[in-house]
Chains A and B, each alone.
Chain A
Amino acid sequence: MDFMNTVKAALVTAALVLPVLPQTGLASSGGPPLPQEDWSFKGIFGQFDQAALKRGAKVTIEVCLGCHSIKYIKFDHLRQFGFTEAEVSEMAGGAGLTKQDKLVSGLAPADAKESFGLVPPDLSLMTKARKGYEDYTFAILTGYLTEEDTALVDAAKEDGTLSPEEITKLASALHMDPHHPEKIDEAVKRIANGDHFNKYFPGNFLAMPAPLSAGAVTYADGTEATVKQLAKDVTTFLAWAAEPTQTERKSTGHKVILYLIVLTAMLYAVKRRIWARVHH
């Protein structure tokens, strides 16, 4: 019966470890490994960083809302993490809306289709709807070519052909496979053509131009608005928007699990007591 015990041990381990892993799923993202950030809201004791949420809401409304909607969130919902009613009304007014309105883009879907060839996806569930979750959202926001990357690409396309060193350098900068130089070559050509390259997007080219640039917004709390900071705040806000109830979910969970452990321990004691009467 040793094998049976191994099976039991494996089952018990899986049952105890799987649920408390950070919010991951059976799905992994494929593609290049995503940058790993420390998210305030991750893990079973994770809580949203309120300051990051307020900054993220500002960036999202001033930048993202230009093209994307967040249809499951109303301006009024933003009061849940510390904005006052006046602030919420002001933000809504800035977008030509009222506080009871949803975060709807001013860009009409039909116009978007004409300009970009597709309707920008709604962002309400973005961090839940892609493999890699918030890490993927953050990766996309920061995965556009940096100045150094652009310089490298410009240098490479000067002479028309790519040398092996250039291939190696480009592969590492663009997170592409060095064993497929023809793909790198094609990417360089498309970048020169003005297409939008992203290191983490499957297929590397997407309709959305780099949405964030340093200093795109001025933070009320004086935080420096680097691209990374903006991306992190937007991602935090979108993670909240995808599931505003997750703070409540975790805190309820602590109480429930604690209760169940006590109850189960008591049930075990009763079970021992009653079964003591049975003679094997």
Chain B
Amino acid sequence: MFKGIMEWVDERLPVTELIKSQATEYPTPKNLNYWWNFGSLALFVLIIQLVTGIFLAMHYKPDAALAFDSVEHIMRDVNWGWLLRYLHANGATAFFVMIYIHILRGMYYGSHRKPREILWWFGVIIFFALMGTAFMGYVLPWGQMSYWGAAVITNLVSALPVVGQDLVVWVWGGFAVGDPTLNRFFALHFLLPFVVFGLVILHMWALHAVHSNNPDGIDLEEKDTIPFHPYFTIKDLYGVGVFLIVFCAFVFYNPNFFLEPDNYIQADPMKTPAHIVPEWYFLPFYAVLRSIDFLGTMSKLVGVIAMGAAIAILFILPFLDRSPVRSFRYRPISRALFWIFVVDCFVLGWVGYNPADATVFGGMPIIYVGRTATAIYFSYFALLWLVTALKVEKPQPVPKSL
């Protein structure tokens, strides 16, 4: 019976063939380690966010006068509303944890290198889209951090020469962040995840065209691959299980860990909180923005450009790395640079979390740490290029096959 139906469908649309070639029998390197789980985990979190988000939207009110109350209505009155909201709020954090690990994994094992540049670019575009989605989502509860975060970030637009001031008024739909801003951010926050989902499909298409990279970064022969199902379906499911344990521990036991207390105060356009910080996942880029403060009137514009460049530089990463070997496993200098880069990102995050005028290590302004860390951040890309283009690095012997 079922077979008959499938035959009928397959004659018209080759579903079975697609599932076989792209999923069940899709050849996958057998040496993938657990760092390769984070792609499927990111997709899993995207689905959590979509589903919880749609249900939250059924109770939320995108109106400056009602938004804050409607979130508390969800927390208190809606059946299981607290669970939907905490899943969604912590889901944003989980998403960025997954994405950051996923990106760093790609950088370490050379997953962006030829022939996977387009695959990588879709990834960077997804990253950009996610940052926009997360930013606008954070505005929706209309707490003090929502409001002032929105004010600060939208003000970045005003750094653009000539049109900046007019443009920011256009973005706000008023003379300051307000009801029109909230309303449009809600619409976009609803829309963008579906755009991200489309981009994910393109990302997977690009992946399946060139196939997965692997920890050795070598081109594999057929004997070194295994079918995706059941090997990687079960491995990914196991990863989902481990992820859910940690995720649910946060959701049920410490759901406000990543949230700022100030966001439980309703937005007040007349009063800025003493110390405003973006969500943790923006902190390194926020630190880059603030580190450029020594150029007088140009500081604002250059700061914004530096912040954008910190992410956009990922686009040219595939061409900066000139080494004949993809995986840093066999590249001692690149490996060292990589870990310095990772530590540097944490330092930037820490700088971004502290007030701009803080002092550290007994009197040193933190801005110096920020400037140094920003310099190191960009140096990583420059040095990676120099070390490989000038052949300073002598790669260790790479296996021909597994």
Contacts and interface: CB of A to CB of B under 8 A. Distances in A.
Nearest to A122: B266
Contacts of A25: 256-261
A268 interface: yes
A244 B226 CA distance: 51
Interface string B358-381: 000000000000000000000000
A48 interface: no
Interface of B is mostly: helix
A257 interface: yes
A133 interface: yes
B264 to A, nearest CB: 4
Given A26-B258, A27-B261, A130-B261, A267 B280 contact: no
Nearest to B73: A72
Given A128-B256, A249-B83, A253-B248, A267 B234 contact: yes
Contacts of B262: 129
B261 A264 contact: no
Contact of A250 (B30, B234, B253): B253
A95 interface: no
A243 interface: yes
Interface in A211-246: 242-245
Given A264-B238, A264-B245, A128 B261 contact: yes
Contacts of B238: 264, 267-268, 270-271
Given A27-B261, A128-B264, A264 B72 contact: no
Contacts of A193: none
B242 interface: yes
A268 to B, nearest CB: 6
A243 B234 CA distance: 38
A115 interface: no
A60 interface: no
A264 B241 contact: yes
Interface in B339-355: 339, 353
A244 B81 CA distance: 12
B82 interface: yes
A202 B262 CA distance: 15
Nearest to B247: A19
A20 B260 CA distance: 18
A129 B252 contact: no
A264 to B, nearest CB: 3
Interface of A is mostly: helix
Interface residues of B, number: 43
B358 to A, nearest CB: 11
Contacts of B235: 271, 275
B169 interface: no
A110 interface: no
Nearest to A273: B234
Interface string B241-277: 1101110111111111111111011000000001000
B346 to A, nearest CB: 11
Contacts of A121: 265
Nearest to A46: B253
A275 B238 CA distance: 12
A75 to B, nearest CB: 15
A24 interface: yes
Contacts of A250: 252-253
Contacts of B226: 278
B30 A249 contact: no
Nearest to B258: A26
A131 B261 contact: yes
A20 B257 contact: no
A245 B76 contact: yes
Contact of B72 (A16, A72, A278): A72
Contacts of B261: 25, 27, 128-131, 133
A15 B257 CA distance: 12
A3, A263, A271, most chain B CB atoms within 10 A? A271
Interface string A254-269: 1011001101100110
A19 B231 contact: no
B249 A257 contact: yes
B257 A26 contact: yes
Nearest to B264: A129
B331 to A, nearest CB: 13
A61 B353 CA distance: 39
Given A15-B246, A26-B280, A267-B238, A21 B252 contact: no
A44 interface: yes
B198 interface: no
A252 interface: yes
B75 interface: yes
B237 interface: yes
A19 B353 contact: no
A40 interface: no
Interface in A112-132: 121, 124-125, 128-131
A267 B76 contact: no
B76 A257 contact: no
Interface string B5-41: 0000000000000000000000000110000000000
Contacts of A202: 274
Contacts of B86: 249
B370 to A, nearest CB: 19
A268 B235 CA distance: 8
A23 interface: yes
Given A128-B261, A253-B248, A257-B245, 5 more contacts: A19-B250, A19-B257, A245-B82, A256-B248, A267-B238
Closest 4 pairs (CB-CB, A-B)? A253-B252, A264-B241, A19-B249, A129-B264
30 contacts: A18-B254, A18-B257, A19-B246, A19-B250, A19-B254, A20-B254, A21-B257, A23-B256, A24-B257, A25-B258, A26-B258, A44-B253, A124-B72, A128-B261, A129-B264, A202-B274, A242-B264, A245-B76, A245-B82, A248-B82, A250-B252, A252-B83, A257-B248, A260-B241, A264-B238, A264-B245, A267-B238, A271-B234, A271-B237, A278-B226
Interface of A: 1, 3, 15-16, 18-21, 23-27, 44, 72, 121, 124-125, 128-131, 133, 202, 242-245, 248-250, 252-254, 256-257, 260-261, 263-264, 267-268, 270-271, 274-275, 278, 280
